Amino acid sequence: MKKSLRVLSLLIGLLAVFYFAVPSQSSVGSLDRIKERGLLLWGSDAEGGAPYVFPDPEHPDTLIGFEVDIADAIAREFGVNARQVQNAWDSLIPALERGDFDIAMNGIEITPQREAKIFFSIPYYVYTEQLAVGKDETRISDINDLSGMKVGTLSGAVAQDILMELGGVDVRTYSGQAEPYEDLALGRLDAVLLDLPIAAYYAKPNPKLKYAGPPVGEGFYGIAIRKEDENLKRAIDEAIGTLLETGELKRIYEKWDMWNETQEKLYLYAKGYERGVTLEEAKQAPIWRFFPMLLKGAGITILISVFSMALAIVLGLVLTLMRMYGRPPLSAVATSYIELYRGTPLLIQLYILYYGLPNVGIALSPIVAAFLGLGMNYAAYEAELYRAGISAIPKGQTEAALSLGMTQGTTLRRVILPQALRIALPGVTNDFIALFKDSSLVSIIAMVELTKTYNILAATTLRFFELGLIVAFLYLAMSYPLSLLARSLEERLKGKKR
Amino acid sequence: MITIRGLHKYYGENHLFRGIDLDVEKGQVVVLIGPSGSGKSTFLRCVNGLEYFQDGEVTVNGIKLHSINRKRPARADREAMRQVRLKVGMVFQQFNLFPHMTALENIIEAPMRVLKVEKNTAINTALALLRRVNVEHKAESYPDELSGGEQQRVAIARALAMKPEAMLFDEPTSSLDPEMVGEVLSVIRDLVNDGMTTVIATHVMEFAREVADTVVVFDKGEIVETGPPEEIFNTPKTDRTRAFLSRILKR
Ligand SMILES: Nc1ncnc2c1ncn2[C@@H]1O[C@H](COP(=O)(O)OP(=O)(O)OP(=O)(O)O)[C@@H](O)[C@H]1O
Ligand SMILES: [Mg+2]
């Protein structure tokens, strides 16, 4: 008992260290605070992928992409360093508003709807939408032939609005940009409409795919800034202006093979030439290069699982005691908690915790939200296991303890719980394995754990299969020892009563 | 020592006790007999507060237990019941040893946790008690490694470790194989001879006759007869006692 308490407090201590190592939420904000901190935090989705922000196939633990270059250049103008903060693309704006980072830059199209919520910098890129189809496609020659066709695009992107306005199109939305092209190549889609830089990276080099028609729907990418950070917006505009004047921006776009006539609208000079990474190179990189990144993801998976389970074990016990021995208001609270958490999807609970709570002024960091979300969910299941354990103890045990003059509390602690927890133990171990796999769900709240790492790497390299096998193996390598432990506990409990 | 006045007990609609009175003097040995379902166990459980009752009063060693007519007893009632249990030891038909503790741990648990006896003292007392009930060689064994007779003797030692003023036995030998009945009864006999105030519910009539100062005959929740054993067994006054005795002695 005492030993497990010590382990628990150690775990909580470690969590605290990890939590405080994450940049404090309250300090993000104005330009002054960025300079004071020496860091410009910019939000983007590395799973969105190339050529915007994606892991370098040469060194997968570093991010590259034209937006990485732009962020670095802007930070240099400010005299600070840039640090990317991972966040799902379709929730970049809410995350910006809740203060997870200073700015969001990830091919975010400037639209009136978005401008109602946040500031945009002056444009840093002129995008067009490019339609891509299968190599042998004959029915579709341009965007006007899409009626009745299955067309993939990114959820929330301007391309989606264009498709909707066309009418009669069977629009399929994705959250990553590699997947629609995968499905197109497999024949699951008839066409994909997405921003030209995306098409240029994924469709153009793919021999199974081809462009259909000219680019359509010109628009601008802008950097998103919170409404209250007006001085930051001015500074960003100034920095983009400087990068335009010095030709730095054009250099970046040429490096990524993204420069075209249209960009002349924005940029004044051009000089120097550097070539970016192509999809072909990403596909060819030796697989071992991705190991450090995958192992880091696995480490975070373990960390989250262990802490969450510790919370679930303790909170579950509190809930059971409240439910079984508490007076009516307490027991009703515990019962409702258990029913609520068991009766609603974990995914929804995580969303509410991470994106919902900021509306009432509670902004949790991703790791704390992940820890609380998983732990509070599993606590409901542990509580039920304990309850089953306690119910299985014969009434005579309580009576014998009471007849010896023990109080209710002593009886519970010394006689009932030690026996009940032994009964619950195999179930708890099994739940740990389940939680361990469920931890992949926290990738939706911006935690880059093993599954998210896989998504990011696979989207960049399109090596879904081999990376998938490696990741599956990593999960197995972590959960199998737990299964063995569960089984040996069960054996031991079957053999003896103690 | 133990006084019961006007005890009423309901199990839902079933009105089991309709006003029971009984006195147990210090050092007295009272044996409860009667057909199955007549209320012997329930009576013993009322005496040490394992069962609430709806009317009447139970006084043990000067501590009063009141009737309780709501779902949860008040804190004061719970504490009174605990005070009674501290003074009265109970031995159950099913032994009810704690399966996750050795015989020794079963015995020292309550003295250490409840009376705050120091561990070494508690162990010495426990070993002496185990010797008294003849299972000192099984001190380190777990309950599932003990025979029924050994378990029941450990359970008796466990109750004695709390230095009770009185002991209640609820059919202490009914779950035992016949060859183990004797060893448990002889432990109880020693206890009685040492002057322990004792109330025993039992179906073993020879033992009742041997140890009892007073025999109480229960039937359908009522006390039908009370008296010294010779009187009850040789010249029973009521038909119900006679009927019961003839049935049980024929077996
Ligand atoms: N928890 C309970 N709920 C409802 N009725 C009960 C309960 N416990 C006992 N009874 C009833 O009360 C009556 C007396 O039972 P009790 O166990 O006291 O009898 P007993 O004399 O000890 O019988 P035995 O010799 O079989 O042990 C029986 O009719 C029984 O069905
Ligand atoms: Mg009985």
Amino acid present at B104: L
Q: What is the CA radius of gyration of chain B?
A: 18
Alpha carbons A246 and A268: distance in angstroms, whole number:
8
- B82·A402 Cβ contact <8 A: yes
B91 with B41: CB under 8 angstroms? no
3-state helix, strand, coil in chain A (%, to 5): 60, 10, 25
Name the pLDDT band for A10 (thresholds 50, 70, 90).
low
Per the prediction, chain B carries an average pLDDT of 91
Average pLDDT over residues A130-145: 89
CB atoms within 10 A of CB A355: 18
Per-residue pLDDT tens over the stretch A315-344: 999 999 999 988 888 999 999 999 999 999
Return the residue whose CA atom lies nearest to atom 28 of ligand 1: B37
A158 with A193: CB under 8 angstroms? no
B242 token code pair: 């006679």
Return the residue whose CA atom lies nearest to atom 10 of ligand 1: B11
- B99·A497 Cβ contact <8 A: yes
Per the prediction, chain A carries an average pLDDT of 83
Burial of A79 (0-12, 13-18, 19+ CB in 10 A): exposed
Q: Strand A119-120's sheet: what is its strand order?
A: A81-86, A39-44, A103-104, A224-225, A119-120
User: Can you give the pTM of this predicted structure?
Assistant: 0.71
- A400·B96 Cβ contact <8 A: yes
Name the pLDDT band for B139 (thresholds 50, 70, 90).
very high
- Which of A107, A286, A118 shows the shortest CA–CA distance to A200? A107
> What is the distance in A from the centroid of ligand 1 to the CA of A128?
86
- B94·A396 Cβ contact <8 A: yes
Name the pLDDT band for B147 (thresholds 50, 70, 90).
very high
Nearest CA in chain B to A394: B96
pLDDT at site B124: 95
Residues near A441 by beta carbon (within 8 Å), at least 6 away in sequence: A346, A347, A350, A374
Residue B217 has pLDDT above 50, yes or no: yes
- CA distance to partner chain B, nearest, from residue A323 (Å): 15
Of B48, B88, B96, the CB nearest to A396: B96
Given ligand 1 and candidates B42, B46, B174, which is best to mutate, with the most ligand atoms within 8 Å of its CB?
A: B42
pLDDT at site A27: 38
Name the pLDDT band for A21 (thresholds 50, 70, 90).
very low
Nearest CA in chain B to A417: B100
Residue A23 has pLDDT above 70, yes or no: no
> What is the distance in A from the centroid of ligand 1 to the CA of A402?
20
Lowest mean pLDDT among A112-116, A345-349, B176-180: A112-116
Nearest CA in chain B to A399: B50
Alpha carbons A107 and A125: distance in angstroms, whole number:
9
Pocket lined around ligand 1, Cβ cut-off 6 Å: B 11, 16, 34, 36-42, 171
Q: Which atom of ligand 1 is nearest to the CA of B203?
A: 25
Name the pLDDT band for A281 (thresholds 50, 70, 90).
low
Compute φ and ψ for A489, nearest 5 degrees: -60, -45
Alpha carbons A361 and A99: distance in angstroms, whole number:
11
Per-residue pLDDT tens over the stretch B13-22: 899 999 899 9
- What is the percent of chain A with per-residue pLDDT over 70, rounded to a whole number? 88
Average pLDDT over residues A102-114: 88
Collapsing DSSP to helix, strand or coil, B239 comes out as helix
CATH class of B2-249: alpha beta
More confident residue, A216 or A381: A381
> What is the distance in A from the centroid of ligand 2 to the CA of B212?
18
Burial of B152 (0-12, 13-18, 19+ CB in 10 A): buried
- CA distance to partner chain A, nearest, from residue B89 (Å): 7
Average pLDDT over residues A277-286: 67
H-state helical runs in A131-260: 158-166, 178-185, 196-202, 230-246, 248-255
- CA distance to partner chain B, nearest, from residue A495 (Å): 11
Of A327, A397, A405, the CB nearest to B114: A405
Q: Which residues of B touch A394 (CB under 8 A)?
A: 94, 96
Alpha carbons A60 and A481: distance in angstroms, whole number:
28
pLDDT at site A337: 95
CB atoms within 10 A of CB A37: 18
Question: The complex's ipTM?
Answer: 0.94
Determine the residue among A1, A330, A397, A404 to mutate to test chain B binding: the one whose Cβ has the most chain B Cβ atoms within 10 Å: A404
Alpha carbons A215 and A159: distance in angstroms, whole number:
11
Return the residue whose CA atom lies nearest to atom 14 of ligand 1: B39
More confident residue, A363 or A139: A139
Residues near A281 by beta carbon (within 8 Å), at least 6 away in sequence: A57
3-state helix, strand, coil in chain B (%, to 5): 40, 25, 35
Residues near B95 by beta carbon (within 8 Å), at least 6 away in sequence: B143, B148, B151, B152, B154, B155, B175
CB atoms within 10 A of CB A480: 11
Could you give all domains of chain A from N- to C-terminal order, each with its CATH number? 24-121+222-285 (3.40.190.10), 125-218 (3.40.190.10), 289-497 (1.10.3720.10)
Name the pLDDT band for A19 (thresholds 50, 70, 90).
very low
Q: How many CB pairs under 8 A join A and B?
A: 72
> What is the distance in A from the centroid of ligand 1 to the CA of B39?
6
pLDDT at site A185: 87
Domain boundaries, chain B: 2-249
A316 with A381: CB under 8 angstroms? yes
